[in-house]
Structure formats: C-alpha cells, structure tokens
Amino acid sequence: MTVQREYRIEEMCASDWPAVRDIYLEGIDTGNATFETLAPDWEVWDREHFSSCRFVARNNDEAVIGWAALRPVSARHAYRGVAEVSVYITARARGQGAGRALLEALISSSEQNGIWMLQAGILAENEASLELHRRCGFREVGRRERIGKLQDRWRDVVLMERRSKIVGID
C-alpha cells in the first residue's frame, strides 16, 4: 500500500512570513524549541537567514504546516560554509514526515549552495527534534550543560552536526 504525502515542499517567499511566524511562535510556546521568547519581524528574520536555503511545507489546502531555514554561524570567511539549522512544524502536522522532508530539502539545498557543515543546537528535552536530526545524518558532538535559562529553569543544549560528503571534502 502506498501512502500519499499530504504536503509538498516549496521555497519560502516573503508572503509565507505570517504563517512561518505563527509556527515559530507555536514552537516558542512549547518551551522546548528555542531560547527565544519572541519572533522577530520579517525584515530582521530575512536579514539573518540565507535567502537560498529556506523552505515551507504546505498541506493540500495550501496552508503552511512547517518551515526550515539556514543562517550563517559567523561572518568570518573561514566559516562561510557552516550554517545553523532551524526546522519547525505546526502541532497538528507533527509526526507526518514533513519535518524530515523539510530537513532533507535543506540538506540538498545547502550542498548546492556550497555549505559543508550544518549544525543544530537542540534543547535536550526536544527528543523529536534530536531523533529527526539523527535520522537525517546528524551526529551528536557535545552537550552544553545549563547553558541558558528559559522560564527560570536552566536548560541543556545538545550540539549536533552533519558534514557534507560532497562539499568541502578537498
């Protein structure tokens, strides 16, 4: 039996921002997705992320159900091929494969754009995100214990990375 996906992956555009922001805020509200407590406005978010490596997942009704994007980890030339991953899925669509499809699209796009290392800092309690990244070839490289406080509680961050097998192998 073939299961048909109920979503498709597309490049993100500025008009997707209201839905992307809502999903980001939903993630913030979980307390397990990020240390951020507010979503930025479009101009700030757009400036901080690569324009070539950002995607949305849309359901059959055209609604955005998830997004993924990359941002540079540093402005230093030596780190030009290193990027930080963000993947967010709305609660009603979790567990349906959209997160994996988004992350796989991001990996492919990153390699097409000369990025050799993807990294993610994931709150330790976010088991679903940790597992998603593992399934997409990320490995745990460390744990930053009590790195920050969120809602008056110290939190650990698991550091994960994925090294490209085709970019930066010289």
Kindly report, residue by residue over 46-62, the tens digit of the pLDDT: 999 999 999 999 998 89
Tens digits of per-residue pLDDT, 132-163?
999 999 999 999 999 999 989 999 999 999 99
Q: Does residue 170 register a pLDDT over 90?
A: no
| Domain ranges for the chain | 7-163
Alpha helix (H) residue ranges in 1-96 = 17-30, 42-48
| Burial class, 98, CB count within 10 angstroms (exposed 0-12 / middle 13-18 / buried 19+) | buried
Residue 80 CB contacts under 8 Å (≥ 6 apart), including other chains: 72, 114
- How far is it, in rounded angstroms, from Cα 113 to Cα 42? 23
SS3 assignment, position 18: helix
CATH class of 7-163: alpha beta
pLDDT of amino acid 5: 67
Mean pLDDT of the chain: 94
CA 137/CA 159 separation, integer angstroms? 13
Q: Is the pTM of this model over 0.95?
A: no
Mean pLDDT, range 84-108, rounded to an integer? 96
Distance between CA atoms of residues 42 and 54, nearest Å: 14
62 is written with which tokens? 């055209």
